[in-house]
Structure 1
Amino acid sequence: MPMDEPQTTTFATTDGDAFEQFFTSAYGSMRIHHEDRPRLRYRGVHAGLFTLDSIEWSARLNIEVEPLNKIIVSRVTTARIQIAYGQDDWRFTAGDLCLAPYPERPYLNNLRPGELRNCILDPDMVTRVAATAPGRRPQRLRFTTCAPVTSAAAAQWWATRGYIADLLDDPQPGASPLMLANAGHLLAAATLTTFPNNALTDPTSEDSQDAHPASLRRATAFIDENAHRPISPADIAAAARITIRAVQLAFRRHLDTTPTEYLRRVRLHHAHRELLAADPGTGVTVGAVATRWGFANHSRFSAEYRATYGVLPSHTLRR
């Protein structure tokens, strides 16, 4: 479940034992071989099912990584890193984006001094975002390489991380659980489209047959009844009893939209109704309503609200 508030951790040390202990607590079991007295600086923001962090170290590190049960996406800031698993060997330098692709297997990591910025994702959350319908063509989510599919996909992933990092660092009152869950789902979806895996394929003929109006009615009814909850595309597909690819096809075929965009419109409608019913004398604010319904960027919320209802949300609240 998402946390009520993100939790920030900072850490710094030059003690070798403390260095290894902290790596293990932050990422999972590993053995670190390093020079004497390496300097480590760390800052991380934990938001339930995902963590964004940055880590800087001063010595060359050779790390024997045990199975982590985490999906870790890293952007190399100033370091050079090498990831080795069996016969596979990947090397990355400053500006590169990479993935630790085998969360259930051990691997070797060689790092030159520098900095990484990481995104740590819960594998179960990523699996739910990628999931097909229960009982049909089950398959285990598996990433197949450390490198992004294209440089454009890597740039889009980094932009997504930056947007969410800004959200978590916003000094305004904390993000709602709904907003944090949406952020986690967005990072998971970005990771699935950035790194090759066995989950995202084109709709099959079976998916096409399942994308009929009855499936769409089940999907829209689920969204309408659960818009206040942190639901994912996988949840919508499960409620409709079809695969995530089939539900996407049904929304595109019959409504010319996507499940995510339909959910966004439903949440905007609920925010509109809440603003209409609110008494401005009780301290209700547009920002609080937007946050409660999962709209992290208040200026974008205002623009979308005005495009839909013809007035700014502040006008609705003051009417």
Structure 2
Amino acid sequence: MIIDESFQTTDVGEAEQIARRVYPRAELREPATGDFAYQHFTRGENGVNFTRFKINSRMDIAVDFHDVAAFGLRLAGRYAVESNRDQIDSSQPFLFTPGPGSSGSEELDVLMVNIDTEHLAKAAAARQGVDDARLVFGRHEAVSPVMRAHWMRTVNYAWNSVIQVSDVFHNDAIRAATFETVVTAALAAFPIDVAARARTFDFASSAAVRRAKAFIEDNADQALTVTQVAEAARMSVRALQLGFQRELGTTPMGHLRDVRLDAARAELRAADEDTRVADVARRWAFANLGRFAAQYRARFGENPGDTLRR
């Protein structure tokens, strides 16, 4: 069902009832001081919605985020936030994890992306190749500056180009694709994992492993980290490691090492008399020559110098 609604009120009790349309267990704890005005704008569908709240005065709010993950972006005002008794830095995109949350605000303008945990779990299951997903939430901030920036770009596009443009929002194909992108970005940007799961082969997981392999092979001469590979594959590090183990019998970094060794061997075989083993090793991101030689022997049964002299 499509949600498309907007409200304004100057009554605190009515504001609480409106807030409960999004968070059924919301409670406006303290009476507002001075003039009070509340604005509420929501659009969404199928377990995903964008809601913008504006409250012009001081207000303390308690919410039990029951079966929902609420991703917040403070646009203006003061906003002191807690989620499951953890204090949250609201100057950056943040996550209210399922459970009790509270806030104290003044002149608040905040955008919330609310995703039902059931919807989020189904997306996580499909993404990680599992039959059934039980979500495990980590910290309340993004996993890295890069993923935080990606999340902000995704939310800004969805909000400014789709949600607020009525004709675009009511286009079924655009709305569905936008919400799918938002859910995928949320799973990638925040520390949300899957536990107690039953595995099954999944073409989405296989495709992600192929993306990771291609990224490794295209950038094998660079100083890659497993986090960079996971971001390129659009998977969590844990899911990527499990996918590589299941499909290739190795780890992402193990595959990277083998790609580099194969490339170094090919270069040594084609080398001229001026080529040095150390130069080839460095070219393929082996900083330690002794470790390179040991790994080379383990893979090919000979020293790199033996290959060079043939």
1:161 is matched by which residue type in structure 2?
Answer: V
- Within the candidate set 143, 146, 163, 2:140 is matched to 146
The aligned counterpart of 2:112 is 118
Query: Looking at both structures, which has the greater relative contact order when contacts are Cα pairs under 8 Å and sequence separation is at least 6?
Result: 1
The aligned counterpart of 1:181 is 176
Note the C-alpha offset of 1:73: 1.0
- Within the candidate set 78, 81, 89, 1:80 is matched to 78
Q: Is the 8 A contact 1:77 1:115 kept in 2?
A: yes
In the TM superposition, what whole-angstrom CA distance separates every residue of 1:168-215 from its partner, at most 9, and x where no partner exists?
A: 344547654343222222111111111112249xxxxxx9xxxxxxxx
- Within the candidate set 55, 58, 65, 1:57 is matched to 55
Q: What is the root-mean-square deviation in Å for CA atoms of aligned residues?
A: 3.3
Give the number of the structure whose residues are more often strand, by fraction: 2
Q: Which runs of 4+ in 1 moved over 4 A?
A: 171-176, 250-254, 256-259
Q: Is the 8 A contact 2:23 2:65 kept in 1?
A: no
**Structure 1 pair 167/124, CA: closer, same or farther in 2 (3 Å)?**
same
**Structure 1 pair 52/116, CA: closer, same or farther in 2 (3 Å)?**
same
Which residues of 2 match residues 257-296 of structure 1 at below 5 A?
none
Which secondary structure state, in structure 1, belongs to the residue aligned with residue 66 of structure 2? Answer: coil
Note the C-alpha offset of 1:85: 4.3
Q: Distance in 1 between matches of 2:169 and 2:85?
A: 45
The aligned counterpart of 1:292 is none
In the TM superposition, what whole-angstrom CA distance separates every residue of 1:292-318 from its partner, at most 9, and x where no partner exists?
A: xxxxxxxxxxxxxxxxxxxxxxxxxxx
**Structure 1 pair 125/63, CA: closer, same or farther in 2 (3 Å)?**
same
2:48 is matched by which residue type in structure 1?
Answer: F
Which secondary structure state, in structure 1, belongs to the residue aligned with residue 136 of structure 2? Answer: coil
Q: Distance in 1 between matches of 2:87 and 2:165?
A: 39
Q: Distance in 2 between matches of 1:122 and 1:195?
A: 15
The aligned counterpart of 2:12 is 16
Q: Is the 8 A contact 2:42 2:49 kept in 1?
A: yes
Which residues of 2 match residues 18-167 of structure 1 at below 5 A?
18-32=14-28, 33-36=30-33, 38-85=36-83, 87-93=85-91, 96-101=92-97, 103=98, 105-131=99-125, 132-134=128-130, 139-165=133-159, 166-167=161-162
- Within the candidate set 198, 204, 209, 1:249 is matched to 209
Note the C-alpha offset of 1:78: 0.8
Q: Distance in 1 between matches of 2:49 and 2:204?
A: 26
Note the C-alpha offset of 1:53: 2.4
**Structure 1 pair 243/38, CA: closer, same or farther in 2 (3 Å)?**
farther
Q: Is the 8 A contact 1:126 1:185 kept in 2?
A: no
Larger Rg: 2
Gaps of 5+ in 1: 201-206, 208-237, 260-319
1:198 matched to 2:212: no
Which secondary structure state, in structure 2, belongs to the residue aligned with residue 92 of structure 1? Answer: coil
Q: Distance in 2 between matches of 1:86 and 1:168?
A: 29
Q: Is the 8 A contact 2:142 2:189 kept in 1?
A: yes
- TM-score normalised by structure 1 residue count: 0.57
Identity %: 15
Q: Is the 8 A contact 1:125 1:185 kept in 2?
A: no
**Structure 1 pair 81/197, CA: closer, same or farther in 2 (3 Å)?**
same
